[in-house]
Structure 1
Amino acid sequence: MTPPDDPGFGLYVHWPFCAQKCPYCDFNSHVRFGGIDEPRFRTAFLRELEHTAQRLGPRTVTSIFFGGGTPSLMQPETVAAILDRAAELWHVAPDAEITLEANPGSVEAGRFRGYRTAGVNRVSLGVQSLRDDILKSLGRIHSVAEAKAAIEIARTTFDRFTFDLIYARPKQTPDEWRAELREALLIAGHHLSLYQLTIEPETPFAALHAAGKLIVPDEDTAFALYDVTQEMTAAAGLSAYEVSNHAAPGEESRHNLLYWRYGEYAGIGPGAHGRIVPDGVRNATSTERNPESWAALVERDGHGIIEDTPLTRAEQADEMLLMGLRLSEGLDLQRLAQLCGAPLPGKTVSELTQQGLIETIPGTQRIKASGSGRFILNEIVLRLALDLPTEKLPSAAE
């Protein structure tokens, strides 16, 4: 695994199709009831990979993540073609983590074996709840029985696996969550992702929330649910290495750590985002969100990128603060100073520490958000960012 001071280089591959759109989801996902032309999209993925490699030059790939959408709707042959082409274009580290997201309803043992043969060595299952009535209210199309079956297939097929649950749901109590989480920990591997439900703009849940028909737990209840989460996962040996992610030591998601450590990653596919460093300048990239329009752009230009913006040092500092403070290992202040061209003022750090919102990690030049600070992370980042240099310094790589 790459050390904290060497985040590595990753590829994010976005498969934008789902069998059904969930009412809480604001990801770039699309339903195509008439089916899709998978060979066309496979060819487009390969072309965009080639364009990215030509632009970036040599890299050592430390992680590849197939996200979505529902990547487990892809044929294993498509996954294999993408991984094979990536290995032709770059050096892929022998211990590279290669993750594929899957929905339990689309899990088949044969298909999972196909992904394993293609090179996938880690799977992430979108379970979301271990209660059938809750799954229905979340718009999920799988059952608890299917979720548990998928977990067992993942356990016996891949070296590593994880699954997601959503809590802080309407009317959920700490006792109810404690019982569900206890059940989850009994069947978990060495990693769990546990997310509080958030109401995302322009989703069906947002409309219900605005109409008063969907009420999420208040702040005190949400905090109590968070406390239950931290207590139970820590007791099970899966402590929080990030706000919503829990793992045994050494079992953290390497690809997600790359994001939070502010590493370099290329986004491939419709609606994929990237942070790449061509020619020593860090750029924010994003691709066309509509799948068919993206494919047409790739066929015409070799890529579907519609945003490619150099980031100022101030913008990079803001992003690094937001990412790094999420981690239990904290944010490297020396690296931040190198990026910004100036150190973070000690006065603000002292004030936030005295208020119990951030903590200095003993023996290091690192700070992290405290348990209570994680609830107001955006406010902490804003306060720290206001004390960083405000002039529009030129973008630069570290």
Structure 2
Amino acid sequence: MFEVYVHVPFCMRRCGYCDFNTYTATDLGGGASRTNYANLAIRDMCLTRAWQEAHGVHEPAASSVFFGGGTPTLLPASDLARMLQAVRDTWGVAPGAEITTEANPDTLDDAYVAELADAGFTRISFGMQSAVPHVLRTLDRTHTPSNVEAGVRAADRHGLRSSVDLIYGAPGESLEDWTTSVRTAIGLGVNHVSAYALTVEPETKMGRKIAAGTLPKPDDDDEAAKYEIADRLLSEAGFQWYEVSNWARPGHESRHNLGYWRNVDWAGIGPGAHSHYNAALAPAGTPHTDGFRATGATPGEPVEPAGDTTTAAVRSWEIAHPKRWAQAMELGRVPWQDSETINPTEAGEEELLLGLRLRDGFDTTALAGAIPESAWSELEKEGLIRMEGERAVPTLRGRLLNDTIITRLMQYV
């Protein structure tokens, strides 16, 4: 399988909790404005495809395409359509592919959604976060609950699937507030819900307020209780969990995100985007001279060899700042910040980390020579996993204590 991710780094304003690679208009000088972003992203696609061909990476047509951010829907729908067409022209898009854009509910209307549908989009992921006004204010979100509903209804009219993202654990959010948000999401009639515990990063606006004592720190027990509420309400409504933070009606799982968790190949386009290739690449010791690191003074400095890439997967990441990313492409090279190889041992560790987040579970035979059967037995006795044949599946308690499971198993690998 092969997927394409397109990062659109623009936001109207930076939410207080967000540490993603996003920028407002005032953050940027020339070189990567909203008006020319689609052209730059298409250039990135062409350079990436040329790099793949030069290194023997031959991918099938994309089975999914995902526009994330940032707020992709800050761009005109015609720009998203042009970038999607460029994916078709560059790699091809498989019949029946899942094509998603994230959306801030404030940034689209019926006409915008209609244009997305005409372009071939199949799914919109709305950043709902909460249905409670005071929680939205704490999170610095600008939309209202009614805007979320309007967006979902527009998607319904034009035949697009809808997903909503929720965040739990915001300062001042009660259990009743969270219950209201989950019930509201279900009531929208969407077929996919993501629910993420609030993570407070020190350098964010919210992180500084919590450090100063003007906002309370999220509480682990409170977040666990809210996770259990979400799981119960969503299960009662016909949703099934398929990844620790994701629930869907059967058949409506996010194929794109499942690809990440299953470590398929993907190309990341845009500032800060990551790519991942399992295929054999260049002979050992061959410099990736058509990628480059940006840590030096001059954009375009060649990336040093990532090691023996004949047997290892490769992960790369692009320059984070849009202006430097744009400047780098003027040199005609893939705008990599850097890259790394993933050897077979590391790949096995990643499969363990990812597999134990999935309803499909982790195939314990994959690391049978490293992890003893007794380790799995102990986890099962403690109610953290359930063995389904050779696969270890986290229980509800195991989902809540997923990091504990991983820590205990990683000592063996």
Give the equivalent residue in structure 2 for 1:50: 46
Q: 1:16 aligns with which of 5, 9, 16?
A: 9
Where 1:170 maps in the other structure, the secondary structure is coil
Indicate if the aligned counterparts of 1:76 and 1:114 stay in contact, CA closer than 8 A.
yes
* Residue 377 of structure 1 pairs with residue 402 of structure 2: yes
Letter in 2 for 1:347: S
- 1:77 Cα shift? 2.5
* Residue 366 of structure 1 pairs with residue 377 of structure 2: no
Aligned ranges for residues 147-158 of structure 1 at < 5 Å? Answer: 147-158=148-159
Give the equivalent residue in structure 2 for 1:293: 324
Residue identity (%): 35
Letter in 2 for 1:360: M
Does the C-alpha gap of structure 1 residues 12 and 41 become closer, same or farther in structure 2, counting only changes over 3 Å? same
Give the equivalent residue in structure 2 for 1:353: 380
Q: Distance in 2 between matches of 1:276 and 1:39?
A: 31
Letter in 2 for 1:291: P
* Residue 29 of structure 1 pairs with residue 36 of structure 2: no
* Residue 114 of structure 1 pairs with residue 115 of structure 2: yes
Where 1:142 maps in the other structure, the secondary structure is coil
Letter in 1 for 2:317: S
Q: 1:305 aligns with which of 323, 329, 336?
A: 336
Q: Distance in 1 between matches of 2:41 and 2:173?
A: 41
Give the equivalent residue in structure 1 for 2:350: 319
Per-residue CA deviations over 1:323-348 (Å, capped at 9, x if unaligned) read: 111111212334x34xxx94532122
Per-residue CA deviations over 1:56-115 (Å, capped at 9, x if unaligned) read: 323231111000000001222222222222222223210110000000111122222222
Indicate if the aligned counterparts of 1:164 and 1:193 stay in contact, CA closer than 8 A.
yes
Aligned ranges for residues 91-240 of structure 1 at < 5 Å? Answer: 91-240=92-241
Larger deviation: 63-72 or 159-168? Answer: 159-168
Indicate if the aligned counterparts of 1:333 and 1:343 stay in contact, CA closer than 8 A.
no
- 1:217 Cα shift? 4.6
Larger deviation: 63-72 or 161-170? Answer: 161-170
Letter in 2 for 1:351: E
Where 1:25 maps in the other structure, the secondary structure is coil
Q: Distance in 1 between matches of 2:217 and 2:196?
A: 14
Structure 1 unpaired stretches of 5+: 1-7, 389-398
Per-residue CA deviations over 1:303-341 (Å, capped at 9, x if unaligned) read: 21112111122322222222111111212334x34xxx9
Q: Distance in 2 between matches of 1:218 and 1:285?
A: 35
Letter in 2 for 1:30: Y
Indicate if the aligned counterparts of 2:164 and 2:185 stay in contact, CA closer than 8 A.
no
Per-residue CA deviations over 1:366-398 (Å, capped at 9, x if unaligned) read: 11222222233223212212212xxxxxxxxxx
Residues paired across the two proteins, number: 375
- 1:132 Cα shift? 1.8
Indicate if the aligned counterparts of 1:28 and 1:69 stay in contact, CA closer than 8 A.
yes
Q: Distance in 2 between matches of 1:144 and 1:306?
A: 39
Structure 2 unpaired stretches of 5+: 281-310
Letter in 2 for 1:196: A
TM-score, structure 1 as length reference: 0.89
Indicate if the aligned counterparts of 1:171 and 1:217 stay in contact, CA closer than 8 A.
no
Larger deviation: 116-125 or 174-183? Answer: 174-183
Q: 1:329 aligns with which of 348, 360, 382?
A: 360
Letter in 1 for 2:77: P
Letter in 2 for 1:294: W
Indicate if the aligned counterparts of 1:9 and 1:265 stay in contact, CA closer than 8 A.
yes
Q: Distance in 2 between matches of 1:179 and 1:290?
A: 38
Per-residue CA deviations over 1:37-59 (Å, capped at 9, x if unaligned) read: 34532222122212222313232
Larger deviation: 171-180 or 44-53? Answer: 171-180
Indicate if the aligned counterparts of 2:16 and 2:205 stay in contact, CA closer than 8 A.
yes
Q: Distance in 1 between matches of 2:408 and 2:10?
A: 39
Indicate if the aligned counterparts of 2:7 and 2:69 stay in contact, CA closer than 8 A.
yes
Where 1:300 maps in the other structure, the secondary structure is coil
Larger deviation: 145-154 or 100-109? Answer: 145-154
Does the C-alpha gap of structure 1 residues 343 and 60 become closer, same or farther in structure 2, counting only changes over 3 Å? farther
Q: Distance in 2 between matches of 1:95 and 1:333?
A: 32
